[in-house]
Structure 1
Amino acid sequence: MIYFIVNLSGGGGRAKRTWRKIKEAIKEYEDGIDDTIDYKAYLTKYAGHATEIASKLSAKIKTKDPDSNIIAVVGGDGTINEVLNGMDFKKMSLAVIPTGSGNDFVRGVKREQDTEKVVNKLIDADMNSELNEEYFESIDIGLCHFDDGSKRYFGISAGLGMDAIVCKKALTSKLKKVLNKIGLGSLTYLAITVKTLFSMQDTDGELVYYIKDYSGKHVETARLKFDRLIYSAFMNLTSEGGGVKMAPGADYKDGKLNTCAAYGLSRFAAFCKLPFLTAGKHVGFKGFEVSAADKMEISLGEEFTCHTDGEYAGEHSHMVVTCEKGVLRLLK
């Protein structure tokens, strides 16, 4: 069974066009086999609605066979994040037909972006669920544990500081809406980043790395104290923010998350290094910490703005991030 969760408000009108193409592709497929395709569609109406829909669908499904129950997200990275935080990974798998301005998730996991091709593969997978390894693979996702007891999954990245402030501002940016209409929405992040870099407050803190030992217990492997933290990003994929290559070595199937933190730099020095950061050429530069671990814990001297996959996640001074290895079944 295919369950479409559709965000028609995304991508400056692109989502509506894409949803129309999806229905046309389904009709063409049905005509070709002289039969009907079993699917349901749910349109999101407000922020957080995709989480509610995914949660209710998961509760209704009794069988733990994720490859037979596919949530197909028609939306951007924010809608995907909402679905990840509502679906039961033991009962449902995920497919994505991207309509957002950044689409970092789809590009990061190297998935097809042509609507008709994705729809055809999606229907093939639903009709041949017994061939699950041909159509699906298991990938890692991240999980944030915040200091107020809340938790959020993420597929791309989580972070605090500058990148989170940029994501928060981009959600309500008039510039983004204008640029989306001409297909340049990702430039929003660059413009807001420059402005934020010279206006935000920094803080001191500590970052601790852990890996699992032979018994499965997390043990500390390294500890970094820093001053003047600008941001710290925890990456499951290589890029966020419309293609900024924070962690060029990240691998969504290796059981680890990569961190990229910038600290101890003057604002001008940080600004001069932005082109290198965008291109993923910052590894080894003074003021950048790029490492990988199963689990990371960050403690700050004051609260910082936080995000998961570009979605605002509150103001926090302490966060634990873990890699949830292979829990998500994703359409190839």
Structure 2
Amino acid sequence: MAPISLKFGGYQGPASVHSRAGHVFGKALSETLGNAVDFTFDSNIVERGHKASDLLSMVESGTLDACYFSSSYLASRVPELGIFDQHFIVPDRNRAYSVLDGALGRELSGLMEKKTGYAVLDFWDNGFRHISNGKGPILSPDDCQGLKIRTLANDNHQRVFRALGFEPITIDVRDLPSACADGTVDAQENPLTNIYNFGLHNHHKHITLTRHLIGVAMVLFNKQAVGSWPADFKEGVQRALRQATLAQRGFADEDDILCTERLVAEGIEIQELSDAQRKVFVDATSREVATTRAGFDARLITLFDEDLASG
């Protein structure tokens, strides 16, 4: 029998925790399925002139079989995904993983399959998000007033940053480095791994460790492709992907430490908020977070809170 093709796509360079996990996935597939799979990994479609967001249409159309991508980009199609976008709610990675691997993660995967052309087979760590800027230290919402900040294309994110005094702007990640360089934006928010690996620190010398959100990267597969696989092949893919997921989450945790060391060595000012300072940010956005929570079915909120507490 001819091998089944599995084309996986990404949008980041070789040092990225996602790219590294993609290679782990390929190796695990080879070990699990052998000659039954023909795996290819296009780790950075941006190098071929695409926008990062093109991955979504490429997977849904079947040009690619799978990719990773931030859940926030799909909340307009599956509003329930916005439950991940509760700023200043998730305190640590272990509790985040309890949500992703628990009942809520399974519920949202089912909704994705029902409402879109994707099957979600796992969730990757898209990093605790922090704020970088080229103007000066940000230690309170007063320091945010009037600054143009690049955010994800997501209403919940933009409402939160407006509440802090920012002017949100949506820019594809492909164009983010140039937007930081030419002053299109004064600030942006991303995990440390992205700030360093995208070279944003070359233009933004100040980083505030707000930990306002832990990003979720869904591992998306073309739903029709998954539906066509034999049961043993699908089981092998899921086992291999779980290996890659565990590795990816470890990479993400390690990378926070490594990137902090590298940023400090390159003269970047990193501000760690005190509990009192962070509370000011939490209080300033509490109404927006409450609005986000109020928009979801009570059962989903219960699942989220129960999974979070079990971590």
Q: TM-score, normalised by structure 1?
A: 0.31
Structure having greater relative contact order (Cα 8 Å, sep ≥ 6)? 2
Structure having the higher helix fraction is 2
